[in-house]
């Protein structure tokens, strides 16, 4: 009798637990249907491996919706992902045109979710071009971080493959051979010896020059030169624009007039000297004539009268 009662209680417990579990599952599933959401759609041009219906949709890290369905787009190339978003996230998407949907990995499990966040630069222009009419408002997408890294690595690989390694190797080999030939040249030792001698001579000259100028004080000379330069500038400035310059100009003008007057006086003096010279000649001739013939002073005929031309000449 006790065994039958125990079995009855166990059976009732199992039935009640099953009913509660089923009710919980139904309630959790039905609660999603009663949530106020808005549908949107996004399109990816890359593989969505690891993204399943029911996957989380996050707005800047905050859970904001779920993936409803995943299909191939009508053009047969893009992947169409329909999303159920809460009202606040849908409103933010309409107000902020810099928001983009990207695929992100959820830990190390390989599962993916959709992250909606602000983007800038090239990420704003990575949305695939649609050749059909979407069923809901479109959330622009951008490449995932993994896809961006893959593209960058591909670009690096292409650039590396464009490098002419064979040409670089040939040039390096040629340069090494040229360097070897130069190092083997016997003239290099003589050149190094001459260079060493020149360096030693230069060092000795520098030491001598340092000893010669050790006790020379250059500061007073530099100060004197600076002061003299300043005074010369002031003098030139005074000569150009000051009273001293005007006086100097006036003195130069007076000197010019004096030189001109002196030239005229010299000309007059030369003319007077010429007349004195002629007069002295005439007196010398008269004296000689009187010495030879003294009687002519008393008995000579008077000289002929002079004409007008002679008067002018005299």
β-pair partners for 42: 81
pLDDT tens profile 253-296: 777 777 777 777 777 777 777 877 777 777 777 777 767 766 66
Q: Which two tokens stand for residue 160?
A: 């590396």
Residue 162's pLDDT is 80
Asked if pLDDT for residue 206 goes beyond 60, the answer is yes
Residue 1's pLDDT is 47
Mean pLDDT across 232-237: 71
The model's confidence at residue 314, banded by pLDDT at 50, 70 and 90, is: very low
Q: Which residues contact 78 (CB under 8 A, 6 or more apart)?
A: 43, 44, 45, 72, 128, 130
Q: Where are the domains of the chain?
A: 35-143, 148-183, 224-289
β-pair partners for 43: 80
Residue 43's pLDDT is 95
Residue 222's pLDDT is 66
Compute CA distances 264 → 260, 267, 269, 274, 275, whole Å: 7, 5, 9, 16, 17
Strands 37-44 and 56-59: unpaired
pLDDT tens profile 69-119: 999 999 999 999 999 999 888 888 888 888 899 998 887 777 899 999 988
- What's this model's pTM, rounded to 2 decimal places? 0.42
Mean pLDDT across 238-247: 66
Nearest to 48 by CA among 147, 119, 126, 116: 147
């Amino acid at each position: 009798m006790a065994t039958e009662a125990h079995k009855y209680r166990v059976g009732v417990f199992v039935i009640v637990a099953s009913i509660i579990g089923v009710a919980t599952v139904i309630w959790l599933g039905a609660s999603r249907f009663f949530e106020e959401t808005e549908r949107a759609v996004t399109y990816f041009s890359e593989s969505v491996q690891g993204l399943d219906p029911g996957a989380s949709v996050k707005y800047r890290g905050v859970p904001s919706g779920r993936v409803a369905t995943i299909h191939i787009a009508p053009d047969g190339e893009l992947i169409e992902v329909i999303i159920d978003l809460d009202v606040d996230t849908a409103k933010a998407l309409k107000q902020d045109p810099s928001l983009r949907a990207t695929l992100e990995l959820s830990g190390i499990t390989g599962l993916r979710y959709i992250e909606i966040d602000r983007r800038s630069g090239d990420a704003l222009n990575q949305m695939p071009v649609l050749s059909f009419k979407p069923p809901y408002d479109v959330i622009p997408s951008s490449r995932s971080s993994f896809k961006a890294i893959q593209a960058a690595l591909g670009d690096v690989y292409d650039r590396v493959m464009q490098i002419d390694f064979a040409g670089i190797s040939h040039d390096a080999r040629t340069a090494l051979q040229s360097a070897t030939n130069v190092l083997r040249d016997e003239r290099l030792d003589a050149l190094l010896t001459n260079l060493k001698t020149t360096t030693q001579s230069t060092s000795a000259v520098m030491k001598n020059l340092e000893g010669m100028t050790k006790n020379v004080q250059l500061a007073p000379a530099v100060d004197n030169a600076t002061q003299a330069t300043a005074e010369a500038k002031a003098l030139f400035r005074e000569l150009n624009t000051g009273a001293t310059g005007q006086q100097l100009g006036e003195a130069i003008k007076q000197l010019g007039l004096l030189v001109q007057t002196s030239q005229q006086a010299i000309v007059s003096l030369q003319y007077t000297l010429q007349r004195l010279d002629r007069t002295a000649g005439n007196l010398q001739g008269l004296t000689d004539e009187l010495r030879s013939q003294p009687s002519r002073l008393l008995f000579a005929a008077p000289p002929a009268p002079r004409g007008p031309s002679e008067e002018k000449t005299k």
